[in-house]
Structure 1
């Protein structure tokens, strides 16, 4: 029943986004994904990641058949595109197989088998559709928010030492090596999340059920709720507001060479194309949840999660997409959502409620401070810089302590150790 309600809610949300995008003369997430059944996909790796998530509910024989069918369909599409001289993109086959699993579940499966197959296919489609829905959200932010608050954020960022300008100069000095590596990490974050999700869901086919909580759930909810904050606090980022990427709309072309000169912060007009997608940094939020969930995996996964987290934060700053205060807000936002999702899955208690309330309060305080106290923050960096980090660290520490209690509560009880023969305890 819960899965059905979630499915209906998600479908209604996607339909609403479709109508909103159509109102601005652009296709929405449903139309884009429908086109990718035939036309060249935007992201082949993302589509195959969705297929991989779907296959967690299949047996090994069924997985081989599904993978073979996807590759075979893609080969046919590539041959046709090669023959007509079109771009050789791939991924159609993966989408065809996921949709085929939905049709198979509805027409050839019943009961628990149908429900499990629909859950797997729905998870794969959600990963793909969530990405498309995010693109539509970004279009809406650029069309409905004619002014941006970058002068407030860049002023507040002085409290942290303007890390985007510092890291931006480092990346420029080490380009093209750093640019290629960081660009790959930044662009394939959904694929990394799918890999960690696959590790967490590797026993679904054997146990015939999904775990109560896993990374993909939090990943999707962050992508759903984050753009709503964009509407409240529209920011385009230093490379656009103060760099060459902003073109004629940029307040100055100084990033990352020198800091802009700003008097009293005020909203500035910006174009109707650039997304207002900085506050909070959702890439930081996603990388944070990736780090959190990878800690529960193998040693290789823990190191990979840490690398992806550090590289993502470096890319967000080094490419000029975010200010330092965006990242602080992103970490708090991620841990608050993660706490809420764990509580919903494992059961709410006082510690979970306090953690969500703590994270929500700190996140609100950060946004209010960036908007109404930026000049004070810039004038007293020795006070506000450590204070920002202290607020974020408090949420991190609270989360760590709470998750330890969750693990101790949900850990299976150990079997009593067998006593060697002849050493049975005497009856009291």
Structure 2
């Protein structure tokens, strides 16, 4: 993989042959049907679990996207815009105009009936119509490309629906949370949630509004990067790796840890939004003193335990990584989104510093496992993935079992935590981005074509 190729340059003949072979690869129909069956089973299981714990199920939420009030307008539009990369410009214009028109109709109906304003019905309806049209009317490469893009867009929406019920499950399954451990371990990092939260409070409403918007609208930036990477799929090959793959993998793996390490965040466990369940209302002005004893604390049955690891950090970091080979405006945008997201995760009281370290380690590990799939699992990939797993596991285990010692020896503990993450980051860079990065496997040159070059989105 080269990172200094001239923008728009064409690969040599051997690499073009590799591209042709990559185009010939097709997903087996049995794999597709197994995937569809798996998605349906997960949605049905989520609906049954939701009925058991009196929460909004994924199928009910999806039904509201069609004819009711969508829970998330940005998610529906993000999935729809992602799906449009797989169709021609003419179809994009028609589909986009139709989705906007349907949304306007719903807006008018809600205004007449005095209901709250929202959008999101249009893109869901048109996305479904596009799927039916591509499956039944189109043929050949046009059909395959369209259905693949539509599948990615639909998965983004459906994954969000399943994720919502999973958050409810974490609150139902884990009545006790580990915030005292995370807060105590954060002494090793200088209690960044308290420091950034206070600084953001002093900065005033404008910086607060900016980072809050960036924090909650992460899908918007992700779609911009993904669309740039996939912009040429209707006329050329699909990239072997892109942001959507990393986003979906992080969304699948990350939430599993919420029930293993349940944490609600400083603004809830130590701040004004604890609704009587907080240990003390001191965030972000007073850092709690070191306690004499340490144990899990009870919390309510409705607040998601979704702090450890910080998936906002993981997703923003993956967005930053995938924007590095884009044009200048995309690189600057990726850096801006990462910085604002890190500020928001701490400054809004949503996460502790150790959550961010775990989230960054998870991102670099998953990204390394998925990146350059044609290069195989050589020693260089194994090295960075193993280091990522060690960093992630060490962060969680030390927070859970060594929090008291970390608070009593903050300098040594802080250097160890940040040192592990720094070593992982350097190894990641040297493995995937350094100009002299060695190949991970002895695959033929024709098979090692980099689909993330400027000439190959």
Same fold (TM over 0.5): yes
Unaligned 5+ runs, structure 1 = 413-428
- Quick one: which of 237, 242, 250 aligns to 1:214? 242
Residues 1:333 and 2:371 aligned together: no
Show CA shifts across 1:272-329 (max 9, x none): 0111011111100001101100111111111111111010000010011101111111
- Quick one: structure 1 residues 38 and 51, their matched pair in 2 at CA, closer, same or farther if it must change by over 3 Å? same
Which residue of 41, 46, 71 maps to 1:17? 46
Equivalent residue, structure 2, for 1:365 = 394
- The RMSD of aligned alpha carbons is 1.7
Q: Which residues in structure 2 correspond to 1:168-179 (within 5 Å)? A: 168-179=197-208
After superposing the two structures, state which structure 1 stretch, 96-105 or 400-409, moved more: 400-409
Tell whether 2:58 aligns with 1:29. yes
Offset of 1:221 from its aligned partner? 1.2
> Is 72-81 or 112-121 further displaced after alignment?
112-121
| Secondary structure at the counterpart of residue 231 of structure 2 | coil
SS state at 2:66 partner: coil
Contact 1:343 1:352 in 2 (8 A): no
Q: What is the CA deviation profile of residues 100-130 of structure 1, one whole-angstrom value per residue up to 9, with x for unaligned ones?
A: 0111123223444333222111111111222
Change (3 A) 1:44 1:344: same
Match of 1:275 among 288, 295, 304: 304
Counterpart pick for 2:175 among 139, 146, 155: 146
Aligned to 2:418: 389
Which region of structure 1 is more displaced relative to structure 2, 139-148 or 108-117? 108-117
Is 1:132 paired with 2:150?
no
Q: Alignment partner of 2:70: what SS?
A: coil
Aligned residue in 2 for 1:98? 127
Look up the match of 2:323. 294
Shift of 1:17: 2.2
Kindly report which structure 2 residues correspond to 1:24-63, keeping only aligned pairs within 5 A, or say none. Answer: 24-63=53-92
Moved more, 13-22 or 116-125: 13-22
Give distance in 2, aligned partners of 1:96 and 1:138.
26
Select between 383-392 and 111-120 the one with higher mean Cα deviation: 111-120
Query: How far is 1:394 from its partner?
Result: 1.0
Range with bigger deviation, 79-88 or 68-77:
79-88
Contact kept in structure 1, 2:145 and 2:233, CA below 8 Å: no
Partner of 2:100: 71
Whole-Å separation in 1 of the counterparts to 2:35 and 2:325: 27
Distance in 2 (CA, whole Å) between partners of 1:88 and 1:326 is: 34
Q: TM-score, normalised by structure 1?
A: 0.92
Name stretches of at least 5 consecutive residues in structure 2 with no aligned partner. 1-27, 451-457
Aligned length: 411
Q: Deviations over 1:381-410 (max 9, x none)?
A: 111101100000111111111113378973
2:281 is the alignment partner of 1:259 = no
